[in-house]
Amino acid sequence: MYTKILVAFDGSEGSRKALKRAVKVAYCFEAELHSVSVEVDLPKYVATVGEFEDVKRQKDAYFERLNHEAIELARAEGVKLTPHVLAGHAVDSIVELCKEGGFDLLVVGFTGHSRIYERIWGGTSRNLARFSPCAVLIEK
Amino acid sequence: MDHTWYVAMVWIGLALVASIISIRTAISVALVEIIVGVIGGNYLGLDPKVEWISFLAGFGAILLTFLAGAEIEPQILRKYGKESIGIGFFSFLLPFLGAMAYVYYVAHWTADAAKICGIALSTTSVAVVYAVMVETGLNRTELGKIILAACFVTDLGTVLALGILFANYNVWLAIFAAITTAVLFITPRFARWFFEAFKNHVSEPEIKLLFFILFGLGWLATHANSEAVLPAYLLGIVVAGLFQKHREMVRHLRTATFALLTPFYFLKAGTIVSIPAIWSGLGLILVLLAVKVAAKFIGVYPLTSIFRFSRKIGMYTTLLMSTGLTFGSISALFGYSRGMITQEQYTILVTVVIGSAVIPTLIAQWFFVPKQQDLKGDWQK
């Protein structure tokens, strides 16, 4: 049923549950599994390129460690995971990747890092369910 | 002496608060420091005229400019010279003339104040543009590299104007020009040898060498009534290629700059802003913002058509070229420090500069971000 699955993974508790679910679903359907992490808090209106690049380098290193963990978790279940790291707005970037990559299932956690933020602004998972071009599985 | 320590504690305390706010809000520490400086100057009695603070702030501005020049990738300027020089030159010239003419003929500013306004509003922020483009992946595309190269050319125009328009045309200027030219020619080769010979030492001799050259050129610039940021930017450009091979040293330099020096610069820049002057000058602020953006459109958009950018990409390029932050604030502070502009005029210029960092960026991101399919294949129509 599903041939190409994308899971949103930012290291939060919710995204870890989503990753485990995505690995199981990919195993069942023998689907390709990809993960996407979005660097959302890159500094705006910077004075020098270096200031921006220093922060980006820290985030790149953080997501590299995270993705290494995710790849090992998937490998332990017999699934190959291909990670992607993007910069920008979380919902826009993930939706755009879904479209470009031709994914037929997006797996996301119900909450990300900030529960208060998500309760006030409506939730990344809710917006992804709304704007994603493919089916969305929200893991609680 | 204990008063000096007290003043230092207050300023660094504010810089610390700004740093934390910057991390939490993902807004540049420079912008937050300016805003904290505004609060400090208007409500906490911060005095920007303390001599040692002025020195640290001035040094911070010089290093900021030097680092900005060193961020250029020379091979990009060589590869995209025609488009970037064309777009960059008119991106500088039209807003410079437009803003200067408006404040001189309509707002009745003095000739020197009008020149400062023209220079401050002619800038384009390479860093703001770069940050926007990384989020869309455009920094890796040919279009992105052309835009960034054009931004450097615009800033070069700004820095040259700042260094040349107000200089005393006497023997000191000739000496300054001659020595600067010689230093710019010798430094890349000498520094290449020096950095290899003395690298990886805790006393950071490479950084001390750069400071020595910058202080020397700054002293000469001051004697010629020019501006120290001009040789600093040019020095940054000539060592840019070398810096790509010494990233760790550059990181140390940036750490020292952002930890200790630029906070004094941006806080000072903010303390001089008068909140009552923002309200009383709001009309002129909005008009000057419109003049800057309109002039950038007149200067840049037709060129994007000539170089066969699509309409959407032309609009995106023009809006990004309308941003400004670092050089705009440096120009305004230069004018205020020399008594060419009043505090009210300085307030108006800095507010417009900050507005130009935010508003065109938002419009570009909301309405004109090129999609990946717009950039594939022949993005030139």
pLDDT of residue A136: 94
Determine what percent of chain B is predicted with pLDDT higher than 90: 52
Rounded Cα–Cα distance for residues B119 and B266 (Å): 19
Average pLDDT over chain B reads 89
Determine what percent of chain A is predicted with pLDDT higher than 70: 92
Question: Distance (Å) from the C-alpha of residue A30 to the closest C-alpha of chain B?
Answer: 29
Q: Could you tell me if A116 lies within 8 Å of chain B, comparing CB atoms?
A: no
Determine what percent of chain A is predicted with pLDDT higher than 90: 56
pLDDT of residue B191: 93
The chain B residue lying nearest A46, using CA atoms, is B28
B139 contacts in chain A (CB < 8 Å): none
pLDDT of residue B244: 85
Question: Distance (Å) from the C-alpha of residue A69 to the closest C-alpha of chain B?
Answer: 25
Sequence ranges of the domains in chain A: 4-106+134-138
Which residues 42-81 of chain B have a CB within 8 Å of chain A?
64, 67-68, 71
CATH of residue B148's domain is 1.20.1530.20
Residue B380 lies in a domain: no
State the total domains in chain B: 1
Flag whether pLDDT at B380 surpasses 60: no
pLDDT of residue B317: 83
pLDDT of residue A117: 55
pLDDT of residue B72: 82
Q: Could you tell me if B136 lies within 8 Å of chain A, comparing CB atoms?
A: yes
Q: Could you tell me if B26 lies within 8 Å of chain A, comparing CB atoms?
A: yes
Angle CA B20–B262–B87, to nearest 5: 105
pLDDT of residue B27: 85
Domain that holds residue B101: 2-375
Rounded Cα–Cα distance for residues B347 and B332 (Å): 9
Flag whether pLDDT at A88 surpasses 70: yes
- What's the sign of the alpha-carbon dihedral B141, B142, B143, B144? positive
Given the candidates 2.60.40.1530, 3.40.50.620, 1.10.8.290, 3.90.550.10, the CATH classification of the domain at A4-106+134-138 is 3.40.50.620
Question: What tokens appear for B330 in the block?
Answer: 């440096």
Indicate left, alpha or beta for B302 from its phi (over 0: left) and psi (-120 to 50: alpha).
Answer: alpha
Question: Distance (Å) from the C-alpha of residue A90 to the closest C-alpha of chain B?
Answer: 11
Residue B381 lies in a domain: no
Contact A51, B32 (CB under 8 A): no
| Residue reference for tokens 């950084």 | B207
| Residue A72 phi, psi dihedral angles, 5° rounding | -65, -40
B135 contacts in chain A (CB < 8 Å): 42, 87-89
Question: What tokens appear for A5 in the block?
Answer: 């699955």
Question: Distance (Å) from the C-alpha of residue B18 to the closest C-alpha of chain A?
Answer: 13
Residue B26: pLDDT band (50, 70, 90) is confident
- Per-residue pLDDT, averaged over B137-149, amounts to 82
Cross-chain Cβ contact A51/B26 below 8 Å = no
Cross-chain Cβ contact B27/A47 below 8 Å = no
pLDDT of residue B288: 96
pTM: 0.85
pLDDT of residue B9: 94
pLDDT in tens, A100-135: 999 999 999 987 665 555 555 557 888 898 999 999
A113 contacts in chain B (CB < 8 Å): none
pLDDT of residue B320: 86
